[in-house]
Chain A
């Protein structure tokens, strides 16, 4: 029986595991973009007060 301790497989550093996981990077990149650019921007535009009717009418004349 072999009494030598078995060599454990080389552990991949956590940092490299994240760097090499393109699905995770895709998720993170998309999430940051969607939250900061898209959702934040859409929320600000959606909360703009509507043009008062009299101004709208004068513009559409």
Chain B
């Protein structure tokens, strides 16, 4: 074994020198960090941040267009930027970050090498090329088809080609993740089973394969159709297969996000799942059933039967929902259990009041759990039922729902874990820790206002993806409930606060990565890396009673909303 000192980082040749596995041993975590993997993680994370910047720039313009007193953009640019925002927010930002996460979880966490760095760069190159081509085609006005690009809407062939290139690159990244797992298993670099964090990422990777295969199945023929090589793409068939990509891609997020929640519990308070076997089973339920939920988007389509809709939208009789319920209990209870073992035992909630709230990764995670559960989760189940879906189908409540899941849930979680990635992977101190501490709160407040306002507006009948929902100048008019004006204002305020928060986060990340002082050792670590919580001295009753109470509060809120929606449904369609 040979050691090379380069600057302030020690690089160590691995014992398997024939593999050329050059790594550094992290002086903070003790993990071996493969240098080629580290570069790929950095590159994908940077591309993710750039994609997020593009997405939120479009988002703020869209908010001020839908806010009628300002009505900023023309109809043409509104639909152009809806397409641009959707692709950058839901596909590019999320998947670039997830690929970075997959590489991190399969190499750094497993103390192993990256299986094929060159292929990693090819994957990255294809994804960047896809991003550039698709975004360029959208911005020159050749793909005003929105993210779903339902046929017979037709975009320029390069739009589809860009997405295909991106998907192929992402699929290659996922294959490399599996390659890394195989190496780690063969070289026995971890214990009996994968760590829970990596296990969750494995779940995300499997869902990604299903998702990207669906994408290939629909985008390749559509690309050929746009070139004139195929006469017709059946719109109903397109919609069915496209949502295998569109919805399932968001399930990759769910699995990756939950994995990070467990990871942050471990890093911030030394917590682990109180029953790993159950947590792993919940991930397996995701693998088996969560992709069926793509059927939510066909709930009003007459071509498919109720049997198909009920079976699929219930994730095979709510088995994937059961998985989410397990995580909803297991993640907070891992925090509570650890905190109690550290001595915060008074009453039901001392563990929560004495939690490390000044750690932005911790606060991001807790706020993401709250937003994902109370806003995204409750509305997801209610809007996903055939009966109650009809109240809000194609209204602005639907994007309101996924602002709760993908934005408060996934995006805030990804933002939070970045505060750990800056010192551990980019080896820089965070500049602006004071700002970083309240950035997650600002983001949560902004997004909660935005999301709840959109859901209420949708309940009042306001359509989604509509440049002018006042129908001004149209042959038909509709007078909305006057309350919509209040909620439009609230939505605009929430959107503005969330936008400012994202810009603060991007500035912190960019300034820290480019100009932050270099990490010289554990003393520079601004965020806690907690040792494993000590074993419990004695154990009586529930291990996590506070979480149990919070879970019942959540269930009560869910039940209230559930029955409220059925009440609204009954009021909408009076049955004699």
Chain B residues near A29 (CB, 8 Å)? 206-207, 210, 287-288, 291
Bin the interface of chain B by size: 35 or more
Chain B residues near A38 (CB, 8 Å)? 214, 240-241, 244
* A51 to B: closest C-beta gap in Å: 12
Do B308 and A40 have beta carbons less than 8 Å apart?
yes
Q: Is B193 an interface residue (CB 8 A)?
A: yes
Decide yes or no: A32 and B292 within 8 Å by CB, A19-B284, A38-B244 being known contacts. Answer: yes
* A30 to B: closest C-beta gap in Å: 6
B240 contact from A12, A28, A42, Cβ within 8 A: A42
B193 contact from A16, A26, A37, A48, Cβ within 8 A: A16
**CB-CB contacts below 8 Å: A1-56 with B:** 12, 16, 19-20, 22, 25-26, 28-30, 32-33, 36-38, 40-42, 44-45, 48
Q: Is B303 an interface residue (CB 8 A)?
A: yes
Q: Is the interface of B mostly helix, strand, loop or mixed?
A: helix
Decide yes or no: A25 and B244 within 8 Å by CB, A40-B308, A45-B236, A45-B303 being known contacts. Answer: no
Decide yes or no: A32 and B316 within 8 Å by CB, A22-B206, A45-B234, A45-B240 being known contacts. Answer: yes
Do A30 and B311 have beta carbons less than 8 Å apart?
no
Q: Give a binary string over B234-245; 1 marks a CB under 8 Å from any A CB, 0 the rest.
A: 101100110010
Report the number of A-B residue pairs with Cβ-Cβ less than 8 Å: 77
Residue of B nearest to A29 (CB): B287
* Complex alpha-carbon distance, A43 and B305, angstroms: 11
* Complex alpha-carbon distance, A48 and B193, angstroms: 48
Do B312 and A37 have beta carbons less than 8 Å apart?
yes
Residue of A nearest to B302 (CB): A48
* Complex alpha-carbon distance, A42 and B292, angstroms: 14
Q: Is B194 an interface residue (CB 8 A)?
A: yes
Chain A residues near B241 (CB, 8 Å)? 38
* Complex alpha-carbon distance, A40 and B192, angstroms: 39
Q: Is B304 an interface residue (CB 8 A)?
A: yes
A44 contact from B181, B280, B303, Cβ within 8 A: B303
Do A22 and B178 have beta carbons less than 8 Å apart?
yes
Decide yes or no: A42 and B210 within 8 Å by CB, A33-B291, A33-B292, A36-B292 being known contacts. Answer: no
* Complex alpha-carbon distance, A3 and B311, angstroms: 60
* Complex alpha-carbon distance, A33 and B305, angstroms: 17
Do A30 and B210 have beta carbons less than 8 Å apart?
yes
* B63 to A: closest C-beta gap in Å: 34
Chain B residues near A20 (CB, 8 Å)? 193-194
Q: Is B460 an interface residue (CB 8 A)?
A: no
**CB-CB contacts below 8 Å: B265-315 with A:** 280-281, 284, 287-289, 291-292, 294-295, 298, 303-305, 308, 311-312
Chain B positions near chain A (C-beta within 8 angstroms) = 178, 181, 192-194, 202, 205-207, 209-210, 213-214, 234, 236-237, 240-241, 244, 248, 280-281, 284, 287-289, 291-292, 294-295, 298, 303-305, 308, 311-312, 316
